[in-house]
Amino acid sequence: MAPIINTYNSEGVDRSALERTGRGGILSDGYLRSKPLAAYLEDGEEPVVLRSNAKRGVVRSTVRSEEREQIAPGDGYRAFALATDTRLLIVVGDTDDDGDWSASVPLTDVEVVEHSDGVLTSEFVVTTADDEQLYFPSRDDLAPMVEYLDAASLRWIAVEEHLDDAREAIMEADRLTRSRLYDEAMDAVRDAMGETDAARRNERELSEDGVEAATTRIERVEARIEGARLRTLEGRAAHTIDLAEAHWRDGEYAQAHDAYGTAHDDYEEALSANVGDPEVAERLRTKLDRVERNVAALEQAPVERAEAAHERARETDDLRERGEELAFALDRYRTALELDWGRSERRFNGDPEAIRAAVDTVARELVETRRRYATQRVRRGDVHRDAGRHTQAEARYRDAYDALVDTVPVARELVPETHDAVQDHCDAVERRLRRLDTTDDQTPVPSGTS
């Protein structure tokens, strides 16, 4: 189906009728008095269908009213009805020597278009959204005028309806963004974009080259959409970075990496849509650089934290503290190995073979440290037991037992040659606990005693 304007304006509008002024005579038609019809047109407005009359002008009325007002042209002048790509313009030349009279009805306000045919003269009637009626007679064929107004007004109304829906979606997106419901806000942004796309399709049904007034209105709404989209993307990216940092603090490196990647994608999408705005683009590039620096640090974190904990373990003489640091280092090294397991591309830094060697070293040190710690606690427990302080002895035995119970799985999986010895050590401590009778011991256990 050909665009509406192209269909009804295939041969164009008589330029002389648009550009001339002056009174007509017996053998010539008149025009307007004050200024030519073309002077009433806005920049970029295109005339489509033009009709005129020389005597009757236009009649104004309202729906359900018997009152009518006729505005007739002066002697030698004419009345013109010009349908453009945006409105219906009616201009009557030299009305009662007061100059030209004009009325304008946007196509979005055209609700009903009717016409009737007479023997010598036909007439079309336009009813507006405000219930005003304009009657315009002409000896010319009015069917093209009526058909164009009817079809074009429907397309313009559709354009405005889609733009109204887009505006509502923009407001909803902003509300959801303020509520930190960013995914739902992006859905609303996409809904708004869909509405402007639909508005453009209706515009193209008006004219294959577009209608400047419609294009301007659509672009104005699209600019608002881009603003809402930018606010949503930046808000979601900042929120996702907060989540990434929380995951990082909790040692959840893969989740942190994924969150940073999502934030990076949002900033990149925002930048691609705002590359023409230097101030916004610079702000987004700064945020992208910050995310990339954080990701680079995160990719080092598992091994670095493991190495730091291993170093702290070597520096302390406290066996309990050393065991805790070694256990943490072992967990971080194993996490570093597992993070990229089965992935074709590694995200986190560290040579797998070197990490495996570190796991083996730390596991052996952990088993040795925990056994030494358990031996130390048992000896102190024995001292308390022999002195009759059974409650204090039980606390020392319990420390030893708990340390060994935690060490048995490590020994079984990572240092299997020590597993039997660790299990036997654990069983021996358990037997001590069972033999210990604390029923009659009322000795308090002072905080921090050995």
Token readout for 214 is 């419609």
Contact in structure between 62 and 81 (CB atoms under 8 Å): no
Query: Does 360 have pLDDT greater than 70?
Result: yes
DSSP 150-205: HHHHHHHHHHHHHHHHHHHHHHHHHHHHHTT-HHHHHHHHHHHHHHHHHHHHHHHH
Say which residue the tokens 């970075």 belong to. Answer: 241
| Sequence-separated contacts (24+) of 422-430 with Cβ below 8 Å | 422/367, 422/370, 422/371, 425/371, 425/374, 426/401, 429/374, 429/378, 429/397, 429/400, 429/401, 429/404, 430/401
Average predicted confidence (pLDDT) for the chain: 90
* Whole-angstrom distance, CA of residue 46 vs CA of residue 86: 8
Tell which residue, 402, 410, 387, 408, has the closest CA to residue 433. Answer: 402
| Cβ-contact 34, 92 below 8 angstroms | no
Share of the chain above pLDDT 90, in %: 72
In this prediction, residue 280 carries a pLDDT of 95
pLDDT tens, position by position, 50-104? 999 988 999 999 998 889 999 999 888 999 999 999 999 999 998 876 789 999 9
The yes-or-no verdict on residue 447 having pLDDT over 50 is no
Give the model confidence (pLDDT) of 228-241 as tens digits: 999 999 999 999 99
Domain segments of the chain as ranges: 4-141, 154-274, 301-435
Cβ–Cβ under 8 Å, residues 254 and 336: no
Q: Buried b vs exposed e over 64-81: b needs ≥16 C-beta within 10 Å? A: eeeeeeebbbbebbbbbb
Confirm or reject CATH 2.60.120 for domain 4-141, answering yes or no.
no
Among 147-151, 275-279, 332-336, which is the least confidently predicted range? 332-336
For residue 53, give the amino acid letter: N
pLDDT > 60? residue 439? no
Flag whether pLDDT at 139 surpasses 70.
Answer: yes
Q: Which of 106-110, 149-153, 298-302 has the lowest mean pLDDT?
A: 298-302
Question: What is the band of 394 on the pLDDT scale with cuts at 50, 70, 90?
Answer: very high
Between CA 90 and CA 372 the distance in angstroms is: 103
**Across 371-386, average pLDDT:** 94
Please name every residue paired with 127 in a beta bridge, in sequence order, or none if there are none.
112, 133
CA distance 57 to 78: 7
Q: Mean pLDDT throughout 278-295?
A: 95
Least confident of 107-121, 183-197, 223-237, 379-393: 107-121
